[in-house]
Structure 1
Amino acid sequence: MKATEAIDHLDPQKWADTPPAERLRLLEEVRENMKRFGDELATADSRMKNDILGTPLYSDPVSKVGTVVPMANTVTAAVDLYEAIIEGRMLQPVKVEKVGNDLYDIYVFPQARKDKLIYADRKDRIRVKGEPRQVNPMDKPAGIIAVLGAGNYSSSLEMMKAIFFENCTVVHKPHHLNEKTDAVWAKIMQPLIDHGALSFCASDQGRDLTVDPRLTTIYFTGGTGTAQAIMSATDTPLISECGGNNPCIVVPGDRPWTKKEIEHQAVQIATMSKLNGGAVCGRIQTLVTSKHWPQRQEFLDALAVALEETTPATGIYYPGSDKVIEGFKAAYPDAKVLRPEGGRHPHSEVLLITGAEPGSYACTHEAFTLVIDEVPLDVPAKAAEFLPKAVDFCNTQLLGTLGSAILIDEDTKQAHQDVLAQAVTDIEYGGIAINTMPPFIFLSPYLTWGGNEEGKAFVSGHGNFGNLLNYENVEKSIIEANFMSAGHMMNTNKTAFDNMAENMSRFAVEPTWGNLTCLMGEAIRDSFRKKDF
Structure 2
Amino acid sequence: MAPSPGTNNASLPTAALARVTGKKEAWTRIGARERGSLMTRCIDGVLGIANAWVAAASEAKGHAPGSVGAGEERLSGPLVTARYLRLLAESLRAGGRPRLGPVTNAPGRRARVRVFPLTMLDRLTYPGLTADVWLSPGAEPTQGRIYHAPEQGGGEVALVLGAGNVSSIPPLDALGQLAIEGRVCIVKMNPVNAYLRPFFETAFAPLIEPGFLAFVDGEGPVGAALCANPAIDTVHLTGSAATHDRIVWGATPDERTRRRALLDPVLTKPVTSELGAVTPVIVVPGRWTPHEIAFQARHVASMITHNASFNCNAAQLLVVAREWPQRAAFVDAVRTALARTPERRAYYPGSRARYERFREQYPAAQSLTPGADGNVPWTLIDDVAPDPAELLLCEEAFCGLLGVVALDSPHGADPAKFMDAAIPFVNQDVAGTLSCALLIDPRTERAIRDHLATRLSDLRYGAIGINVWPGIVFALGATSWGAFPGHRLDDIGSGIGVVHNALMLDHPERSVAHAPFRITPTPPWFADHQNLDALAKKALAFEARPRWWRYPSLAASALRG
TM-score by length of 1: 0.92
- 8 Å contact 1:77–1:468 — kept in the other structure? yes
- 1:241–1:450 Cα contact (<8 Å) kept: yes
Distance 1:203 1:58, change over 3 A: farther
When residues 293 and 127 of structure 1 are mapped into structure 2, their CA distance, relative to the original with a 3 A threshold, is: same
Structure 1 position 154 matched with structure 2 position 185: no
Counterpart of 1:308 in 2: which secondary structure? Answer: helix
- Alignment CA distance shift 1:30-1:451 (3 Å): same
Report how far residue 348 of structure 1 moved: 4.8
Q: Which residue of 2 aligns with 1:175?
A: 190
Is 1:64 the counterpart of 2:78 in the alignment?
no
CA contact (8 A) 1:16 1:138 kept: no
Cα distance between partner residues in 1 of 2:513 and 2:331: 25
Q: Tell me: CA distance 1:170–1:492, structure 2 relative to 1, closer, same or farther (3 Å).
A: closer
Question: What displacement does 1:344 show?
Answer: 6.1
AA matched with 1:165:
I
For structure 1, list consecutive stretches of 5 or more residues without a partner in the other structure: 528-533
Would you say 1:21 and 2:33 are equivalent positions? yes
Q: 1:444 aligns with which of 468, 473, 476?
A: 476
Matched, 1:429 2:461: yes
| 8 Å Cα contact 1:250-1:407 kept in structure 2 | yes
CA distance in 2, matches of 1:76, 1:188: 14
Deviates more, 1:112-121 or 1:161-170: 112-121
Distance 1:343 1:295, change over 3 A: same
d(CA) in 2 for partners of 1:127, 1:494: 32
- Cα distance in structure 1, aligned partners of 2:487 and 2:217: 36
Q: 1:428 and 1:163 mapped to 2: Cα distance?
A: 29
CA distance in 1, matches of 2:202, 2:89: 20
SS in 1 for 2:166: coil
CA distance in 2, matches of 1:42, 1:110: 28
1:394 aligns with 2:406: no
User: 1:97 deviation in Å?
Assistant: 1.3
Structure 2 Cα separation of the partners of residues 440 and 381 of structure 1 = 29
Matches of 1:119 and 1:495 in 2, distance apart?
Answer: 18
**Are 1:151 and 1:176, in contact at CA under 8 Å, matched by a contact in 2?**
yes
- 1:252 alignment counterpart: 285
Give the equivalent residue in structure 1 for 2:518.
484
Q: State the secondary structure of the residue aligned to 2:343.
A: coil
Deviations 1:128-160 (A, max 9, x none): 122312234434443211111101122221111
Distance 1:326 1:492 in 2: 24
Which residue in the other structure is 1:329 paired with?
A: 359
1:134 aligns with 2:143: yes
Q: How far 1:61 sits from its partner (Å)?
A: 3.4
Matched, 1:40 2:49: no
Decide which moves more: 313-322 or 243-252: 313-322
C-alpha deviations, 1:236-290, integer Å up to 9, x for none?
111101111011100001xx10000000001111122101110012111101001
CA distance in 2, matches of 1:60, 1:277: 12
Shift of 1:38: 0.8
Cα gap change, 1:249 to 1:56, in 2 (>3 Å): same
Which residue is 1:103 aligned to? 110
| Partner-residue secondary structure (3-state), 2:94 | helix
Residue 387 of structure 1: how far off its partner (Å): 0.4
CA shift for structure 1 position 100 = 3.0
1:352 aligned residue (375, 380, 385): 380
Match of 1:372? Answer: 402
Superposition map of 1:76-87 within 5 A: 76-85=86-95
Deviations 1:54-73, CA, capped at 9 Å, x for gaps: 99987543321221011011
Q: Is the contact made by 1:358 and 1:375 (CA closer than 8 Å) also made in structure 2?
A: yes
How does 1:384-423 map onto structure 2 within 5 Å? 384-423=416-455
Contact 2:285–2:321 (CA<8 Å) still a contact in 1? yes
The residue that corresponds to 2:263 in the other structure is none
1:73-93 CA-to-partner distances (Å, cap 9, x unmatched) read: 1011112112322xxx71132
Does the alignment pair 1:203 with 2:218? yes
- d(CA) in 2 for partners of 1:234, 1:249: 37
Does structure 2 retain, via aligned residues, the 8 Å contact 1:39–1:60? no
Q: CA deviation at 1:495?
A: 4.6
Report the equivalent of 2:551.
516
Deviations 1:364-418 (A, max 9, x none): 2211121111100012311110002100110111111110111001111111112
**Superposition deviation, residue 420 in structure 1:** 1.2
Shift of 1:120: 2.6
Q: Secondary structure at the match of 1:477?
A: strand
Aligned-partner SS, 1:214: coil
The TM-score with structure 2 as length reference comes to 0.87
Cα distance in 2 for partners of 1:492, 1:286 equals: 19
Provide the C-alpha distance between the structure 1 equivalents of 2:68 and 2:450, rounded to a whole number of angstroms. Answer: 43
Instruction: Give the aligned partner of residue 507 of structure 1.
Output: 542
Q: What is the count of residue pairs matched by the alignment?
A: 516
Q: Determine if contact 2:108/2:457 at 8 Å carries over to the other structure.
A: no
Is the counterpart of residue 239 in structure 1 residue 278 in structure 2?
Answer: no
Please name the residue that 2:6 is paired with: none
1:343 CA displacement = 6.4
How big is the shift at 1:492? Answer: 5.9
Amino acid of the structure 1 residue aligned with 2:14: T
What root-mean-square deviation, in Å, do the aligned CA atoms of Structure 1 and Structure 2 show? 2.2
The alpha-carbon deviation at position 512 of structure 1 amounts to: 2.7
Identity over aligned pairs, percent: 28
Contact 1:432 1:477 in 2 (8 A): yes
Instruction: Map 1:115-134 onto structure 2 (within 5 A).
Output: 115-129=122-136, 130-132=138-140, 133-134=142-143
- Given that 1:57 and 1:315 are in contact with CA atoms closer than 8 Å, whether structure 2 keeps it comes out as no
2:282 is equivalent to residue 282 of structure 1 = no
**Map of 1:472 onto structure 2:** 506
Give yes or no for contact 1:252–1:290 (8 Å, CA) kept in 2. Answer: yes
Equivalent position amino acid for 1:375 in 2: V
- Can you list the C-alpha shifts for 1:403-459, whole angstroms capped at 9, x where unaligned? 011100111111111221122111111111111011111112211111125167322
The match for 2:259 is none
